[in-house]
Amino acid sequence: DQQVKQNSPSLSVQEGRISILNCDYTNSMFDYFLWYKKYPAEGPTFLISISSIKDKNEDGRFTVFLNKSAKHLSLHIVPSQPGDSAVYFCAAKGFGNEKLTFGTGTRLTIIP
Amino acid sequence: EPEVTQTPSHQVTQMGQEVILRCVPISNHLYFYWYRQILGQKVEFLVSFYNNEISEKSEIFDDQFSVERPDGSNFTLKIRSTKLEDSAMYFCASSAGQGNDGYTFGSGTRLTVV
């Protein structure tokens, strides 16, 4: 039951360049999407979110884009920094629903 | 920065034993959650808790699992009779309100069932 999919298990990006992490979903009832960052031996840390009524949300170096018709969202990090090296999870929830459905994660490595 | 605290960080238990995982959510939060991540797999929802009762649970959260808020600060997950497949990282999370918060997660308890 892979309602949220992150098809790239890993991604390497040069420091200073743009990192683009992708996420696809199948459940059209999802109306809110979140990105989390996770370091080893720590819990997921909330990064940025977007409501289904928007197509873009920006917070500093992080921008999330949502394409509802394609059921696709992406996280852009620019410029990428060494501290951004972590596993990134996208997550989704439905209206009035509390649970988050997570993707399998993408391990981002920033190369100095 | 307020944080969600989980203890212990690592618990090893024998199959069939009961375990209690403990969490102290952020003090003014009202909604509490447990998630788990089996090694190499995705983070999965177990249960949400509000106003002293379960508000939602997944199919994973069967009769072997229970949650409790025994006092004003702790939130616990009990597994009555552990199985090998219960081995996972268990994350507690809390949020101030239902809706579109970025929940705050704890650092997790690694449960190893042998």
Element (H or E) spanning B53, and its range?
strand B53-57
**pLDDT more than 70, % of chain B:** 96
By C-alpha distance, the chain A residue nearest B55 is: A98
**Largest interatomic CA distance in chain A:** 43
- Neighbouring residues of A47: CB distance < 8 A, sequence distance ≥ 6: A34, A35, A36, A37, A59, A62, A75, A88, B102
Number of domains in chain B: 1
Domain containing B50: what range? 17-94
Element (H or E) spanning B44, and its range?
strand B43-50
By C-alpha distance, the chain A residue nearest B98 is: A98
The pLDDT assigned to B100 comes to 59
Q: Where are the domains of chain A?
A: 4-111
B108 in any annotated domain: no
B4 in any annotated domain: no
Tens of pLDDT, residue by residue over B8-24, are 999 999 999 999 999 99
CATH code matching the domain that covers A4-111, chosen among 2.40.160.10, 1.10.1040.10, 2.60.120.330, 2.60.40.10: 2.60.40.10
The pair of three-digit structure tokens given for residue B37, joined into one six-digit string: 């991540």
B77 in any annotated domain: yes
* Number of residues that this document lists for chain B: 114
The CATH number given to whatever domain includes residue B34 is: 2.60.40.10
Among A36, A98, A102, the residue with its CB nearest the CB of B31 is A98
B39 neighbors A87 (Cβ within 8 angstroms): no
Cα B88 from Cα A38, distance rounded (Å): 16
* pLDDT beneath 70: ranges in chain A: 1
Q: Which amino acid is at A77?
A: I
Cα A59 from Cα A51, distance rounded (Å): 14
Phi-psi region of B60 (alpha: psi -120 to 50; beta: other; left: phi over 0): alpha
CA distance to partner chain B, nearest, from residue A99 (Å): 6
B49 in any annotated domain: yes
Instruction: Report the SS3 class of residue B84.
Output: helix
Tens of pLDDT, residue by residue over B36-55, are 999 888 899 999 999 899 99
